[in-house]
Structure 1
Amino acid sequence: MTQENNSGAAEASRKTFRVRQCREAEVTGEVTAGLSIVLIGPAALRGTETAAMRLGKRLDERFSACFAERCRNAYRDHAVEADEKMLQKAGVKAFCLPGDGGLYAALWDLSSAGGRGFDIDLRKIPLLQETVEVCEIWDLNPYRLDSTGCILAAASCGESLAAQYRAMGKTAEVIGWFDRTKAGKIRSGETTTYLDFPAPDEIHKTEQQQTEKEKEGGNGL
């Protein structure tokens, strides 16, 4: 093969290679098949707070003062800190802290670390109503929105772990389990989809929408 052909093949390879556009979550511990997947704390807290702040007065015009304030303080009011010793004592075998790229990116990282597939129920993922409302305004996917403030854990006794956090007044749910496949199954009722490669955090869409409005001469969403 000529040098020119080699160069062309390398260029084609670069074009098809997927480049990660969000930060990778650091995984602590080992993921094995059969472990429950537990989400401690609601997803998308930091993203909800940031998106709410960027709405400005539009948030106050749409909701009550109390609800708008809760949107702006979603992370502050609901974030959960990771106590590694407590998690290990509660039967957690591996965990990571979701952030940039949202819960879906963290699920990818946790499952990839153990080379395991998983099966989760989308309806069991905890979301604040504030998150639902803010995401609807911006047209954001909450599962790909900055989820700093929660813990994604693989545990031998998922229900027991969730119960311990609920007893402390925290939100915690078993959302699925790891299996011996390589597929990341996401179920919602009778519909099943599969987790895709981590994508840019949804919060960037708010920046793009604001920029577009400014170019159009608008003064808000």
Structure 2
Amino acid sequence: MKIGKVPTEVLKEIIFSNITHHREEVLVRPGVGEDCGVVDFGEYVCVLSSDPITGAAKDIGSLAIHISCNDVASNGVEPLGIMMTILAPVGTTKEDLLRVMTDANEAATSINVEIIGGHTEITDAVNRMIVSTTAIGKQPKVKMVSSKGAQVGDAVIMTKHGGLEGVSIIATDLYDILKDKIDEAVLERAITFGKDISVVKEGVLAGNLGIVNSMHDVTEGGILGALWELAEASELGIVVEGDAIPFMEETIEICSSLSIDPMRLISSGVMVMTVSQENKNQLLTTLREAGIDATEVATITEENRKIRLGGELVPLDPPREDELYKVI
């Protein structure tokens, strides 16, 4: 299989089909497009999500914190704690570990999350550092939001701009290569996009608003992958307005120079939300007043998944190998 997320059909055939023992306390179980597991604790639920960072060399500590916390935020809940596992290759120095932990601590502090445990190991099983995190959140049961609550006719709202995490990673890790063909000022601006990879603010804001039917944070597979997963989670269709999806000029220039598709570039920092047509303006206004860019980019339909580009409506393909892995 190719590098990146395991294909949807393999997840269903091999992974999900072999999770057969269920407990009544578990309210949300693994599924395509489902960001979190949810456990019933009476009046409250415990929301959990795990993710590794494998596609970045720099800022791995910060990315590891944000990626799992973003998943918890997609349930409309503020993450409170995180478990962190570091698997480091032979030759790792104390300075390497210090840099990871300093970055992780700064990221955790910025979103009010405590690192409450984990594991750190030097191993010859990896050839570069892998950091995996599990984020934990607490939420009143009545406020539960998941990825599978979309309704036919819902507007799909996207926050921020596509490819922001991926282009930041590329500009950081390939800076010395790209500076010969792209203005260094462009690269420097693209690097700063990495400061916006948390979706905790918009996730909690939308959750508290109480009008959002579903949410899903955008990671591997980019905005198109996330929109397909959002529809898949609710077993519905979607029509994506491709020309409405916002991208920064820096993202377009860097992706063009590397011949990669920004629509399928990893985009932690972007959240997609579904909301009824009557409530969409309230959601858009609330997000924008909070300083969060928000754009309507799709509509949930009863069946079929399509994207409109240049006026032509074509099938929307399932997620595939993220564009990041073509260059990193």
Common fold: TM-score over 0.5: yes
The one-character-per-residue Cα deviations of 1:86-132 (angstroms, maximum 9, x if unpaired) are: 21315211001110111122112110111111112111111111110
Would the aligned equivalents of 1:41 and 1:78 in 2 still touch at CA under 8 Å? no
Cα shift at 1:63: 4.0
Corresponding residue for residue 191 of structure 1: 312
**Residue equivalent to 1:175:** 297
| 1:44-102 deviations in Å (ceiling 9; x for gaps) | 11111112123322433344443221112212146543554421315211001110111
User: Which has the higher mean CA deviation after the structures are superposed, 152-161 or 35-44?
Assistant: 152-161
Any idea what the Cα deviations from partners look like across 1:115-174, whole Å, max 9, x if unmatched? Answer: 111112111111111110110111111111101111011112223312222222222101
Unaligned runs of 5+ in 2: 1-7, 12-30, 36-145
Q: Would the aligned equivalents of 1:82 and 1:151 in 2 still touch at CA under 8 Å?
A: no
**Number of residues of Structure 1 aligned to a counterpart in Structure 2:** 188
1:26 aligns with 2:147: no
Name whichever structure is richer in helix by fraction: 1
Aligned partner of 2:173 in structure 1 is 54
Larger mean CA deviation between 70-79 and 44-53 belongs to 70-79
Which residue in the other structure is 2:260 paired with? 140
* SS of match in other structure, 2:327: helix
Unaligned runs of 5+ in 1: 1-16, 208-221
CA contact (8 A) 2:157 2:294 kept: yes
* Contact 1:25–1:99 under 8 Å retained in 2: no
Percentage of matched positions with identical amino acids: 25
Q: Which has the higher contact order (CA 8 A, sep 6+)?
A: 1
**Using the alignment, how far apart are the partners of 2:292 and 2:242 within structure 1?**
19
Structure-to-structure mapping, 1:83-162, within 5 angstroms = 83-88=202-207, 89=209, 91-156=211-276, 157-162=279-284
In the alignment, the residues of structure 1 paired with residue 263 and residue 197 of structure 2 have an alpha-carbon distance, to the nearest angstrom, of: 17
Provide the secondary structure at the position in 1 that maps to 2:267: coil
Answer whether contact 2:213 2:275 (CA < 8 A) is retained.
yes
Q: TM-score normalized by structure 1?
A: 0.76
CA-CA distance at 1:195 after TM superposition = 1.1
Q: TM-score, normalised by structure 2?
A: 0.53
In the alignment, the residues of structure 2 paired with residue 139 and residue 32 of structure 1 have an alpha-carbon distance, to the nearest angstrom, of 36
* Aligned-partner residue type, residue 271 of structure 2: I
